[in-house]
């Protein structure tokens, strides 16, 4: 078989099949899948999830009591997102021992399945080409990297997309088993991260559709209400209870609507950047704008109504997030599938298929090029992996330590100890240092690469017990 025949087979059989591309990108994203959480972007967010999973494996597997390592002298138990992803990591650890990259793999698997179901969901209402373009665009958007991080964003959104597919299948007359699957996946998805709940707004369409049997509407409505029981309990009762009872606050529950509005409108440039840069980069965003304009001109009501309702629902979460929305790139993740609709629509308006493919490749190339750095760990970060060996030589596992990681708990995670992550300025504050020493802190680890004006010297009761080119460690007690 010659190259021409192989190309013809590829164009006819594989190129139009979204399953081929999902598998191809799954394999592509396996590169570096076992890397530790040393990427520059959002390493802090990953290690907090890794801490929860590791503590389940090493201390207590009760999913109701997530535990972090930087709660000082406290237990570290605090309110977080419900630990679905972390618990799956724990279950794998029971078989193979704990490895933090399990979270990467689990998220990649679930998020890849989510893309398939996104395509299947669109196929219920749109033609094959539109659905394929939207699914392919989701693969190459910012989901490319966030679907292989130990973070619940694409994981949660994927579970909700899967749930919506089963809900719509039930609306179409399939067995109630689909409604049960809707309940299971939507509950796990929204428990994993609550902003993905905004996608449920599209259930408005089958509920107002007179052709959908009333009994089907009732069952989906009942299952939706049932879903809000565990979600409401966890986020609005249990998380505040854990924070107040154990005295350690970590999870951000949002701000007031008016405060969030003020924070957003006074930082519109940074907010807008989440859309035109983080989600798809420039070519994708420009195409999205063209798709939006032409959808209005051509009165493409299906796309417009879906995006209008979803955008209004998502705006509520934007306002609740306030400054966190523009401060963290991953807050835009749940809206990316909706943005894919306008880009896909714009592509289908192009008459020549060759030009469609060319523009799709341009969007893909720019997006991947801007994300490729996330697949590699910088050599300059690898020194952090030595922390646990250093800690094992001079401390006991139960010793509380302080380390100058500021608000980033990454160094505490790699030290595999519990205690305080502090700033370099706090190291210089004798009152603060005396306070944590009295609370049980035994050692101070200083990352030399993060030092500002701290003088490396022993205090009256500080003893230098270790030093190399990266770290210096002081014993804080005689």
Q: Using one digit for the tens of pLDDT, what is the confidence trace for 88-112? A: 999 999 999 999 999 999 999 999 9
Task: Find the helix or strand (DSSP H, E) in which 418 lies.
Answer: strand 418-421
Percent of the residues in the chain that have a pLDDT greater than 90, as a whole number? 75
Q: Is residue 152 part of a domain?
A: no
Q: Is residue 78 part of a domain?
A: no
Query: What's the pLDDT score for residue 15?
Result: 79
Nearest Cα neighbor of 227 from 183, 197, 180, 192 is: 183
* pLDDT tens digits, one per residue of 358-393: 999 999 999 999 898 899 999 999 999 999 999 999
Q: Is residue 444 part of a domain?
A: yes
38: which DSSP letter? -
Q: Is residue 260 part of a domain?
A: no
Alpha carbons 412 and 387: distance in angstroms, whole number: 9
Nearest Cα neighbor of 390 from 407, 421, 414, 423 is: 414
Alpha carbons 185 and 15: distance in angstroms, whole number: 30
State the pTM of this model.
0.94
Whether the pLDDT of residue 452 is over 70: the answer is no
Whether the pLDDT of residue 68 is over 70: the answer is yes
Mean pLDDT on 62-73: 96
Angle at 236 between CA 259 and CA 57, to 5 degrees: 115
Residues facing 419 on adjacent strands: 401
Task: Return phi, psi of residue 409, to 5°.
Answer: -85, 10
Is residue 345 within 8 A of residue 130, CB to CB? The reply is yes
Mean pLDDT on 149-154: 96
Mean pLDDT on 139-157: 95
The domain total for the chain is 1
Q: Is residue 451 part of a domain?
A: yes
Mean pLDDT on 435-460: 79
Per DSSP, the residues of 368-424 read HHHHGGGGS--GGGGGGGGHHHHHHHHS-TT-EEEE--TT-THHHHHHT-EEEE--H
Q: Is residue 5 part of a domain?
A: no
Query: What's the pLDDT score for residue 133?
Result: 96
* pLDDT tens digits, one per residue of 186-237: 999 999 999 999 999 999 999 999 999 999 999 999 999 999 999 999 999 9
Mean pLDDT, the chain, rounded, equals: 92
Q: Is residue 275 part of a domain?
A: no
Return the SS3 of 465.
strand
Q: Is residue 3 part of a domain?
A: no
Task: Return phi, psi of residue 463, to 5°.
Answer: -120, 125
Which residue stretches of 212-256 are H helix? 214-233, 239-246
Angle at 294 between CA 290 and CA 298, to 5 degrees: 175
pLDDT band for position 450 (cuts 50, 70, 90) = confident
Which residue stretches of 239-351 are H helix? 239-246, 257-265, 268-273, 281-297, 301-321, 323-327, 336-349
Residue 468 lies in domain: 380-475
Whether the pLDDT of residue 458 is over 50: the answer is no
């Amino acid at each position: 078989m010659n190259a021409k025949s192989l190309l013809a087979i590829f164009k006819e059989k594989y190129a139009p099949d979204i399953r081929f591309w999902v598998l191809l990108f799954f394999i592509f994203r396996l590169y570096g899948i076992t890397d530790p959480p040393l990427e520059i972007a959002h390493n802090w967010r990953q290690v907090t999830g890794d801490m929860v999973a590791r503590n389940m494996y090493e201390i207590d597997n009760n999913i109701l009591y997530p535990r972090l390592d930087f709660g000082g002298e406290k237990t570290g138990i605090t309110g977080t997102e419900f630990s679905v992803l972390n618990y799956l990591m724990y279950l794998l650890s029971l078989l193979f021992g704990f490895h933090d990259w399990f979270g990467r793999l689990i998220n990649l698997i679930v998020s890849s399945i989510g893309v398939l179901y996104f395509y299947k969901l669109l196929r219920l209402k749109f033609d094959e080409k539109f659905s394929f373009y939207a699914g392919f665009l989701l693969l190459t958007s910012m989901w490319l990297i966030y679907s292989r991080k130990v973070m619940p964003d694409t994981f949660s959104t994927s579970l909700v997309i899967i749930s919506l597919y089963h809900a719509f299948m039930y609306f179409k007359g399939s067995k109630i088993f689909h409604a049960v699957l809707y309940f299971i996946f939507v509950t796990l998805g929204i428990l994993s991260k609550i902003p993905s709940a905004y996608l449920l707004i599209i259930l408005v369409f089958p509920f107002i559709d007179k052709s959908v049997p009333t009994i089907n509407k009732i069952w989906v409505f009942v299952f939706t209400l049932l879903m809000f029981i565990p979600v409401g309990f966890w986020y609005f009762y249990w998380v505040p209870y854990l924070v107040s009872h154990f005295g350690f606050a970590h999870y951000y529950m949002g701000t007031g609507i008016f405060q969030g509005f003020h924070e957003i409108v006074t930082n519109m440039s940074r907010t807008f950047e989440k859309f035109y840069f983080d989600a798809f980069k420039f070519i994708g965003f420009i195409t999205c704008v063209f798709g939006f304009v032409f959808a209005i001109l051509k009165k493409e009501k299906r796309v417009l109504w879906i995006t209008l309702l979803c955008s209004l629902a998502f705006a509520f979460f934007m306002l609740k997030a306030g400054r966190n929305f523009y401060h963290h790139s991953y807050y835009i993740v749940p809206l990316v599938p909706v943005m894919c609709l306008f880009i896909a629509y714009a592509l289908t308006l192009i008459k020549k298929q060759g030009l469609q493919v060319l523009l799709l490749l341009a969007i893909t190339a720019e997006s991947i090029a801007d994300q490729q750095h996330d697949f590699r760990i910088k050599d300059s970060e690898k020194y952090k992996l030595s922390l646990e060996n250093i800690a094992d030589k001079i401390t006991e596992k139960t010793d509380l330590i302080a380390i100058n990681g500021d608000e980033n708990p990454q160094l505490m995670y790699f030290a595999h100890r519990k205690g305080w992550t502090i700033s370099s300025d706090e190291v210089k504050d004798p009152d603060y240092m005396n306070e944590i020493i009295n609370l049980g802190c035994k050692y101070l680890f200083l990352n030399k690469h993060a030092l500002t004006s701290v003088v490396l010297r022993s205090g009256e009761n500080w003893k230098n017990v270790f030093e190399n080119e990266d770290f210096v460690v002081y014993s804080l007690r005689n």
